[in-house]
Amino acid sequence: MTAVTGEAPLQGSGVLGRPMDSREDPQLLRGEATYVGDVNLPGTAHMAILGSPVAHAKILSIETKAAEQMPGVLKVATAADFTDVMPLPCIWIPGGVESHFPPHPYGLPGARPVLTGDSVRHVGDPIAVVVAETPRQAAAALAAIAVEYEPLPVVTRADAALAEGAPQLHEAVPGNLNAYWTCGDKDRAEAALAEAEVKVELDLVNQRTINSPIEPRGAVGDYNAATDEYTLYASTQGPHNHRFLLAALVLGIPFNKLRVIAPTVGGSFGTKGYLYPDMALVLVLSKALGRPVKWVDTRTGLMNSTVQGRDHRQHVVLAGTRDGRMTGLWATSYANLGAYPSTIGPGVATALMGRSISGMYEIPAAFCEVYAAFTNTVPLGAQRGSGRAEAAFLMERLVDRFAAEIGMDPAAVRRKNLVPNEKFPYDNGLGWTYDSGDYQVNFDKALELSGYADMPARKAEARTRGKRLGVGIATYVAICGVGPSTRMSQEGMLGGTWESANIRVNPTGEVTVTVGSASTGQSHHTVFAQVAADELEIDPAQVQVYEGDTLRAPYGQGTYGSRSYSMAAPAVALTARKIKAKLVKAGAVFLGIPEEKAVYAAGKVYEEGNEENAKTFADLAMAMWYGWGLPHEIEPALDETTHFDPPDFNYPFGTHVAVVEVDELTGETEVVAYTAVDDAGHIGNPKIVLGQIEGSITHGLGQALMEAAVYDEQGRLLSSDLTKYALPRATDVPFFTLGKTTTPSPHNPLGAKGAGEIATVPPAAAVVNAVVDALSDLGVQHIDMPLTPEKVWRRLRGEAQ
Amino acid sequence: MDLSLNVNGRPEQFAAEPNELLVERLRDGLGLTGTKVGCDTGQCGTCVVQLDGRSVKSCLILTAAAAGSRVTTIEGVTTRGGELSGLQEALRQEHGTQCGFCTPGMVMALGELVENTADREAPTEPEIREWLTGNLCRCTGYHSVVRGVQRACSAARAEIPAEISGAAAVSAAAGSGSAGSASEPAPASVSASASASASGKEV
C-alpha cells in the first residue's frame, strides 16, 4: 500500500471532500429540532423510575400502596409486573475465551432485568416505576414507595472484586470474573522482558469518566391496540439494533410489530446505542395503560444509570534497548464492567483496548491480559475513543518513561520505532492488521507544527513567569469501521455489523437517500447528500437524506465507533454506482445507441462523440418512472440498495502535541497550545470533521484535567451532578493547531477511515506526558488523572503520589 | 396563582403552582420546546432564555418570580423556518452546532453579548470564552462557537461579513488547518485561554 499524503483527486463531481455548510444547522440554530423530550403525543402519561439508593443489598420488601394513592398516579409497577419481559442481553462479549454472565432465557449472555426484584447491585439500579398524569406527579409518588433492604458488602474496584472474599454480585459469575481475556504472544513477551537491556514499568489508573451528552436519554412508548403495533421514540444511535434486540430478545414480540424512531439525538459519545430498561418499560406500560408513556432522564439519573467509560487499572511494562529500540510490551489490566454487563461493554473493555496497545510502534513481542470484573458501580460502556484511548494512554506514558530512563528525547524514541511504510498492511501481533499509514510524515508534521524544536527556549522563558512549561507527545492508531461482520463475530459480537443505503431517484429527478445509520450530531444529511451527489454528478441540493426511523430506512447498525463515514457512506456510494449503471443501460435504449457508446457524465447520459444526443438526469428519472419502451431485462424505476460489509477494519492514526504551563504556586495546569495532526483517510466534509476533531480533543483534555466518576466506599457516586462532575468549559481550552495527512484506506470505495472520535484517543496521554515533563526535574514519573491543581501542587512540593 | 408573562411579544395569562419553574411553563405550559433541560442544577445552560433582555437560566427561576416580565425564547429570535439572526447565521457559517441540544441556550446567552457590545469594540476571545462558561457543549469543544461569535461581531461592525477582524482571521485560519490543503501546515493560533474559570476543575 503506497501511502499518499496530500489531497488525492477524488472521483466524481468533486462535491465530496468540500467543506459544505451543514444543512442540519439552521433547524438546530432556530431550536426547531425535535428531541425525544420534545415528543408530546396526545394523552401521554409520564413515567418515573425508582433507582436504588444503596449500592448492594437484598430487597426484602417493596410496598407500593401509598404511592398508588398519590395524586395523578396511574400505575405503580415492580419486577413482579414484568415477569414475561426477558432480561436485556449482552451482545459483545470477550471473544474466544470462557466468560460468565447473568442468565438469559435464550441461553444468550444476559445483562440485567428491566426491574430488579431480588437484589440491587448499584446505586440507581431500577426497582420500581410510577406512571402518572404529569412528570411531577410521577416523581412525587416515587418517594412514597417503601423498600426494605438488607445491606450487603460493596465493592467498587475491579481488582478488589477479584480478591478472595470479595462481595459476590451474580450467582452465575463466580468470583465476579466476567472473563480473563488475552491477546498477543505471552511467551515471546515474557522472554523480551526477561532479556531486556532496559525495562520500565508503570501502575496506571485510567479513571472512570462519565460520557455526559448534554441531552439526557429519554423514551416514549406508544402501543396501538388496533394494530397490535408498538412504536418507540428513543434517544438512540442505532434504531434498527434497538428494534431487533427489544423485539426479539427482550419483549418477545414479532420484529415487524415494533417500530423504533430516533428523533434528533442530542449527542451520545458512546451512551445511546445500548439497551436500557426504560425502553422496554415504556412499551409494556403503554400497552397496559392504553396511552403513550414518556420518560425523560434527569442529569443525576443519567449519571447513575447511563453507561460510563474507561475505568482500567493497569500494570504495564515496556522493554527496550539502550539505544531506544522497543523490544517488548506487556499490559495487565483490570477492567471495571460495573454491576451488569452493558450491551457491548465487555467487548469494549477487552478487544478494543487490548489489541490496540502497541499503537504506531513496531514492537516484536507484545501481550495484553484483561481481567474484566463486575463491581457495584454503573455499567461500563464505550466512551468517545473507547478502548483505544486507554491503549494509547498506557503506551504513550510508557514511551516517555522509557525515553527518560535511557536519556533520549521522547520524540526521537518514537520516531525510531514507528511502523515503516513498507510494512503495510502491518500485523501488530495483537490481532489488528493496520490497513495503511505513513506514520513518519504524520509524526514529523505534528512536531513541526507544534514548534517542538523551540521548546527548550519556551521552557526557560516560562520559568521567568513562575510557570513550568511541559511538552507531551502522544501518537495513536484507532481501529474504526466496525466492521467486517464475520471478523466481529470472532471478536465476540453477536450480530452483523454491516451498513446499508437505499437510493431512490424520484420521477421529477430529485434523489432520496435513506441509510440505516442514525446521526447523533454528525450532519449525516449533509455528508451523505454529498456522497450521492458526487457519484451521480448532480447538485447536492437535489438530494434528500432520511434516517433514524426503522419504518423508512433500510436495516443498519447505527452510529458508533466513528463508523458512519467509512461504513454507511460507502454503501451510499456503491448504491449510487448501481443507479448510474442502470441509467447508462436504460439511457442507451432511450438514445437508440449501443450501451458501450453511452457515457455518463455531469448527471447526463449521452452518446460518445455526439454529446448532443443526450438525456438529462431528470429526463431519465421520468422515463424510468413511466417505464415505457424498456426492454424486458431492464426493470422500471430507479431504486437500489446496498449492504456494505467491508473486508476489514480501517485504522486512522495521528500525532498530538500538548504544551502546558503548570503554575509553581497553585499547581494549576493550563493547556497553552495543542497541536493535532490526524489521518482519517479521505474526508467527506472537512468542516464537519474539523468540528469533531476539536470537540474530541476537548473531551480528551477533560479526562486529563478534571473529569472523574468518584464512588465512595459504599458505592455512592459522589460526582453525581454537574456541580460535582467537571466538564470542560470554553475557558478551559485554547484554539488548537490542526493539520492532517491523508492515507486512504483500501477497505472501502471512498478510501475513508473513521474520523468522528479519533482525536479523543491521544489527548489524555499527551497532557499527562506534558505535565510530567514539566515536573520531571522533581523526579516525578507519573501522576494519575485527573490532574487537579491540588494533586499537581502536592507533587510540586515533593509529596508522593 | 394567576400569572402573566409576555413571551416572544405575546401576552400569556395562566394559573401556575407557586413552585413552578419558568422552564416548565415555557416547555410544558406554552409548548415552547426549543428551550431545553440538560441538568437539574443550573450548570448546563440549555435552558437559557432572555428575561427583559438579560440572559437567564430558566430552570433557576420560578415562573412566579418572572411574572410581568418580557421573556424571549429561541422561538422568538426568528420565525419558524425563517431567516437566521446575524448570530445564528455566523454560527451556521462556522458550524457552531453539532447535535444542537445546547444550541438554543447558547444563542440566547450569546445574543445578549453580541447585542450589549454592539456599540463598542468587539469582545475579545477571552471575553467570549468567559461569557460562554455558563453553557456546556460536549460536541464542539466550543471552538466553532467562539469563531461564530467573532464572525457575528465582525459582521455587525463591517457591512461585509468577509471582512473579519484580526482575532477572527486567526481563528478562521486555525480552522482551515484541518479543512484546507493537507500538505500545507496550518497557521498556528495559540491563544492563552482565560485562566481558571468559574467552572471549577476540582471534582
Task: Return d(Cα A235, Cα A37) in angstroms, integer.
Answer: 9
Chain A residue numbers with beta carbons less than 8 Å from the beta carbon of B83 are: none
Please check whether residue B34 touches A, CB under 8 A.
yes
- What's the gap in Å between the CA of B60 and the closest CA on chain A? 14
Beta-carbon separation of B194 and A731 below 8 A: yes
Do A52 and A137 reside in the same domain of the chain?
Answer: yes
Most B-contacting residue of A7, A18, A29, A295 (CB-CB within 10 A), to test interface: A29
DSSP for A611-679? Answer: EEEEEEHHHHHHHHHH-TT--TTS-SS-EEEEEE--SS-B--EEEEEEEEEEETTT--EEEEEEEEEEE
Of chain A, the percentage scoring pLDDT greater than 70 comes to 99
The residue-averaged pLDDT of A581-591 equals 98
Amino acid identity at A515 = V
Q: How confident is the model at residue B40, as a pLDDT?
A: 87
Question: What's the per-residue H, E or C state across A187-251?
Answer: HHHHHHHHCCCEEEEEEEEEEEECCCCCCCCEEEEEEECCCCEEEEEECCCCHHHHHHHHHHHHH
B window 44-103, beta carbon within 8 A of A: 44, 46, 73-75, 77-78, 80-82, 84, 88, 91-93, 95, 97-103
Which chain A residues are closer than 8 Å to B108 by Cβ?
A: none
Residue A18 lies in a domain: no
* H and E: helices and strands count for chain A: 21, 28
Number of domains in chain A: 3
The predicted structure's pLDDT at residue B179: 35
Among the candidates A644, A677, A700, a domain finishes at A644
The pLDDT confidence band at residue B189, using thresholds 50, 70 and 90, is: very low
- How far apart are the C-alpha atoms of A311 and A346, rounded to whole Å? 12
Check residue B12 and give its pLDDT.
98
pLDDT category at A800 given cuts 50, 70, 90 is confident
Q: Which helix (H) or strand (E) holds A65?
A: helix A65-68
Q: Which residues in A lie closer than 8 A to residue B186 (C-beta atoms)?
A: 449, 737-739
Tell me: do A695 and A583 sit in the same domain: no
Query: Residues B112-133: what's their mean pLDDT?
Result: 96
Cα-Cα-Cα-Cα dihedral of B152, B155, B161, B166, to 10°?
Answer: -80
What percentage of chain A carries pLDDT values higher than 90? 96
Per-residue model confidence (pLDDT) at position B158: 80
- Domain containing residue A540: CATH number: 3.30.365.10
| 3-class SS of residue A432 | coil
pLDDT at B163 over 80: no
Domain boundaries, chain B: 2-76, 86-177
Domain C-terminal end among A615, A644, A673: A644
Distance, in Å, from the CA atom of B26 to the CA atom of B33, rounded to the nearest integer, reads: 7
Phi/psi at A671 (nearest 5 deg)?
-80, 110
Q: Does A8 touch chain B (CB under 8 A)?
A: no
Residue A315 in 3-state DSSP? strand
User: Do A761 and A670 have their domain in common?
Assistant: yes
- For A:413-452, CB contacts with B below 8 A are 445, 448-449, 451
Contact A697 B141 (CB under 8 A): yes
Mean of pLDDT values over A425-450 = 98
Residues of A in contact with B81 (CB under 8 A): 30, 32
Q: What is the mean pLDDT of residues B54-65?
A: 98
The beta-carbon neighbor of A710 closest among B34, B170, B203 is B203
Task: Answer yes or no: do A37 and B37 touch at CB < 8 A.
Answer: yes
Give the pLDDT score at A692.
98
pLDDT band of residue A472 (cuts 50, 70, 90) is very high
Q: Chain A to chain B, count of Cβ pairs less than 8 Å apart?
A: 292
**Whether the predicted pLDDT of A476 surpasses 50:** yes
In tens, the pLDDT along A442-471 reads 999 999 999 999 999 999 999 999 999 999
User: Which CATH number do you get for residue A127?
Assistant: 3.90.1170.50
Query: Which residue does chain A place closest to B193, by CA atoms?
Result: A734
The answer on pLDDT for A383 being more than 50 is yes
> CB-CB: which of B100, B144, B197 is closest to A521?
B100
A38 interfaces chain B, CB cutoff of 8 Å: yes
Residues 106-135 of B with CB under 8 A from A: 107, 125-126, 128-130, 132-133, 135
Please write the tens of the pLDDT for every residue from A58-85. Answer: 999 999 999 999 999 999 999 999 999 9
The neighbour count for residue B183, using CB atoms within 10 Å, is 14
Contact between A214 and B75 using a beta-carbon 8 Å cutoff? no
With beta carbons under 8 A apart, name residues in chain B contacting A707.
203
In a domain, A179, yes or no: no
- Summarised one tens digit per residue, pLDDT across range A20-46 is 999 999 999 999 999 999 999 999 999
Answer whether A31 sits within 8 Å of B74, measured CB to CB: yes
Residues of chain A in contact with residue B95, where contact means CB-CB under 8 angstroms, are: 21-22, 25, 523, 687-688, 690-691
In the listed set A585, A620, A644, which residue is the last one of a domain according to the structure? Answer: A644
Cell numbers describing residue A683: 474526508
Question: pLDDT tier at B184 (50, 70, 90 boundaries)?
Answer: very low
- Determine which helix (DSSP H) or strand (DSSP E) holds A576, and give its type and residue range: helix A569-591
pLDDT band at A593 (very low <50, low <70, confident <90, very high): very high
A232: left (phi over 0), alpha (psi -120 to 50) or beta: beta
A625-671 pLDDT, tens digit each: 999 999 999 999 999 999 999 999 999 999 999 999 999 999 999 99
Q: Which range has the worst mean pLDDT, A208-217, A324-333, A533-542, B183-192? A: B183-192
Residues A523-533: pLDDT tens digits? 999 999 999 99
- The pLDDT value recorded for residue A483 is 85
Residue A200, pLDDT > 90, answer yes
Per residue in A486-517, pLDDT (tens digit) is 999 999 999 999 999 999 999 999 999 999 98
Could you give the maximum distance between any two Cα atoms of chain B, in Å? 66
Q: Mean pLDDT across the stretch A154-177? A: 98
Please determine, for residue B13, whether its predicted confidence score (pLDDT) is greater than 70: yes
> In 10 A of CB A632, how many CB atoms?
5
Mean of the per-residue pLDDT values for chain A?
A: 96
Sign of CA dihedral B20, B23, B27, B29: positive
pLDDT above 90: residue B25: yes
Of the candidates B34, B139, B143, the beta carbon closest to that of A267 is on B139
Mutation for testing the B interface, residue in A300, A526, A731, A733 having most B CBs under 10 Å:
A731
Choices 3.10.20.30, 1.10.1790.20, 3.40.50.300, 3.40.140.10: CATH for B2-76: 3.10.20.30
Contacting residues of B for A697, CB less than 8 Å apart: 141
Confidence category of residue B202, pLDDT binned at 50, 70, 90: very low
For residue B73, the chain A residues in CB contact (below 8 A) are 31
**A709-722 pLDDT per residue, tens:** 999 999 999 999 99
Is A784's pLDDT higher than 90? Answer: yes
Same-domain check for residues A321 and A396: yes
Q: Is A5's CB within 8 Å of B182's CB?
A: yes
Whether residue A136 is found in the same domain as residue A97 = yes
Asked whether residue A325 falls in the same domain as residue A465, the answer is yes
C-alpha cell at A779: 523526579
Closest by Cβ to A521, choosing from B35, B99, B194: B99
Q: Pick A215's closest partner by Cβ from B38, B144, B194.
A: B38
- Cα A72 to Cα A140, A413, A770, B26, B73: the distances in Å are 10, 68, 57, 22, 30
Nearest to A691 among B98, B136, B196 (CB): B98
Reported confidence tier of residue A691, pLDDT bands at 50, 70, 90: very high
Is there a contact between B101 and A213 if contact means CB atoms under 8 Å apart? yes
How far apart are the CA of B154 and the nearest CA of chain A, in angstroms? 18
Mean pLDDT of A690-710: 98
What integer pLDDT is reported at residue B83 of this predicted model? 97
**Mean pLDDT to the nearest integer, A538-565:** 93
Chain B residues near residue A686 by CB distance under 8 angstroms: 178-180
pLDDT digits (tens, 9 = 90+) for A326-358: 999 999 999 999 999 999 999 999 999 999 999
Residues A716 and A569 in one domain: no
- Is residue A191 a part of any domain in this protein? no
Q: Are residues A48 and A84 in the same domain?
A: yes
- Do residues A127 and A275 both lie within one domain? yes
Task: Confirm whether A608 is domain-assigned.
Answer: yes
Averaged pLDDT, A274-290: 98
Distance (Å, whole) CA A323 – CA A43: 73
Chain B: closest CA distance from residue A308 (Å): 15
* Contact state of A31 with B185 under an 8 Å Cβ cutoff: no
State the average pLDDT over residues A137-160: 98
Out of A296, A522, A722, closest to residue B39 by CB: A722
Q: By the CB < 8 Å criterion, does A465 face chain B?
A: no
Contact A25 B91 (CB under 8 A): yes
Residues of A with Cβ-Cβ distance to B144 under 8 angstroms: 690-691, 694
| Chain A CB contacts of B133 below 8 Å | 729-731
Average pLDDT over residues A415-432: 98
**Chain A residue numbers touching B181 (CB-CB < 8 A):** 6-7
Query: What backbone phi and psi angles, to 5 degrees, belong to A100?
Result: -125, 135
pLDDT of A101 over the 60 cut: yes
Residues A382, A609: Cα–Cα separation, whole Å: 56
Q: Are B36 and B47 in contact (CB under 8 A)?
A: yes
Range of the domain at A726: 309-482+648-796
Is A460 inside any structural domain?
yes
User: Are both A276 and A396 inside the same structural domain?
Assistant: no
Residue with cell string 458512546: A270
Q: Within this chain, do residues A132 and A147 fall inside the same structural domain, yes or no?
A: yes
Chosen CATH of B86-177 out of 3.30.70.100, 3.40.50.970, 1.20.140.10, 1.10.150.120: 1.10.150.120
CB proximity B166 to A under 8 Å: no
* Residues A148 and A290 occupy one common structural domain: yes
Q: What would the pLDDT profile of A103-130 be if each residue is shown by its tens digit?
A: 999 999 999 999 999 999 999 999 999 9
